[in-house]
């Protein structure tokens, strides 16, 4: 099994001989968030002390929150809100009220699409004005989220393994995006980009194996070494460790600005400056 999308760290920590993951997992992603916090504070001479965690109650949410808590403790941040909520909840007023009351320096939501949109609408309704939002990808980067609540979600930051504003930096990524755009009438984004990379990695292994024999394909996957300039993703490589995890992954931080996500970190590859703090509802045009 070649997994291009799932992000639970546990998947590549079970000594699974036949499992390979091309994408980053939650620890890679969350470390990128905390790297951003560190470098952003130095760059802008601001202080971020407290975090507010909200997360849906499936494995995705619980794994994300676990890693965020661990890294918060490691890097000296105080978690002053820690709230699990039911996936596909129909009301998030209590959760937003807790965030508003505690007012953490950074709100860190882990949500799927419907609850991500509901959080935005509820925050507007209750006049909750977070200065910084750092999302765990997923629902916050879906095309429906951007089209339906994007104007009200301006300034939302998210980790991501991919950003379409960087595709021009790699000819192969530019060509793939052009083909995808013809078929889908929009630029390729995170989820299909990850799925595509997983599939291409498997096809590469089958081609090198020269057979459909399972063990031969598995051995070819173990020996995979696809250089970064041959990838759609802005990664260093696809190369698996002994647990089947790609060690060549790299996460970026994006921010929703003008109805589109732009790369804002690492700073040396950023295509936009960070908007901070996010304007309060009363100050938005």
In this prediction, residue 16 carries a pLDDT of 94
What pairs with residue 227 in β-bridges?
A: 237
Q: Provide the β-strand partners of residue 54.
A: 83, 109
Whether the Cβ atoms of residue 71 and residue 30 lie closer than 8 Å to each other: yes
Compute CA 127 distance to the chain's CA centroid, rounded to the nearest angstrom.
26
* Same fold? 27-161+251-283, 163-250: yes
Each residue's pLDDT, cut to its tens digit, for the chain (285 residues) gives 999 988 888 899 999 999 999 998 888 888 999 999 999 999 999 999 999 999 999 888 898 899 999 999 999 999 999 999 988 888 999 999 999 999 999 999 999 889 999 999 999 999 999 999 999 877 787 878 888 888 899 999 999 888 878 777 788 889 999 999 999 998 888 889 999 999 999 999 999 999 999 999 999 999 999 999 899 888 889 999 999 999 999 888 999 999 888 999 989 888 999 999 999 999 887
Rounded-to-integer distance, Cα 160 and Cα 29, Å = 7
Non-local (6+) Cβ contacts of 75 within 8 A are 34, 37, 38
- Classify domain 27-161+251-283 by CATH number: 3.40.50.2300
Q: How would you classify residue 210: left for phi > 0, otherwise alpha for psi between -120 and 50, otherwise beta?
A: left
Domain at 163-250, CATH class: alpha beta
**What pTM value is reported for the model?**
0.81
Name the residue ranges covered by the structural domains of the chain.
27-161+251-283, 163-250
Distance CA 108, CA 212 (A): 44
Residue 73 confidence (pLDDT): 96
Please give, one letter per residue, the 3-state secondary structure of 101-161.
Answer: HHCCCEEEEECCHHHHHHHHHHHHHCCCCCCCEEECCHHHHCHHHHHHHCCCCCCCEEEEC
d(CA 165, CA 149): 21
């Amino acid at each position: 099994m070649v997994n291009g999308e799932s992000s639970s760290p546990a998947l590549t920590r079970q000594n699974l001989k036949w499992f390979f993951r091309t994408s980053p997992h939650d620890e890679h992603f969350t470390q990128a968030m905390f790297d951003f916090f560190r470098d952003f504070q130095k760059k802008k001479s601001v202080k971020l002390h407290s975090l507010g965690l909200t997360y849906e109650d499936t494995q995705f949410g619980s794994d994300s929150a676990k890693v965020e808590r661990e890294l918060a403790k490691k890097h000296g941040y105080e978690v002053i809100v820690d709230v699990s909520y039911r996936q596909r909840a129909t009301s998030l007023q209590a959760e937003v009220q807790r965030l508003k009351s505690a007012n953490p320096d950074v709100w860190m939501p882990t949500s799927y699409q419907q609850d991500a949109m509901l959080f935005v609408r509820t925050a507007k309704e209750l006049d909750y004005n977070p200065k910084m939002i750092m999302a765990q990808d997923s629902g916050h980067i879906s095309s429906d989220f951007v089209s339906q609540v994007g104007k009200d979600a301006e300034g939302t930051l998210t980790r991501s393994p991919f950003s379409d504003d960087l595709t021009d930096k790699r000819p192969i990524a530019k060509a793939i995006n052009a083909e995808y755009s013809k078929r889908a009438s929009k630029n390729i984004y995170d989820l299909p980009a990850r799925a595509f990379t997983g599939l291409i990695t498997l096809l590469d292994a089958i081609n090198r194996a020269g057979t459909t024999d399972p063990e031969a394909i598995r051995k070819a996957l173990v020996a995979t070494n696809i250089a970064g300039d041959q990838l759609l993703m802005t990664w260093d490589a696809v190369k698996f460790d002994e647990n089947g995890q790609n060690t060549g992954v790299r996460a970026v931080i994006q921010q929703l600005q003008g109805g589109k996500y732009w790369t804002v970190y690492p700073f040396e590859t950023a295509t936009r400056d960070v908007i901070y703090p996010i304007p309060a509802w009363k100050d938005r045009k």
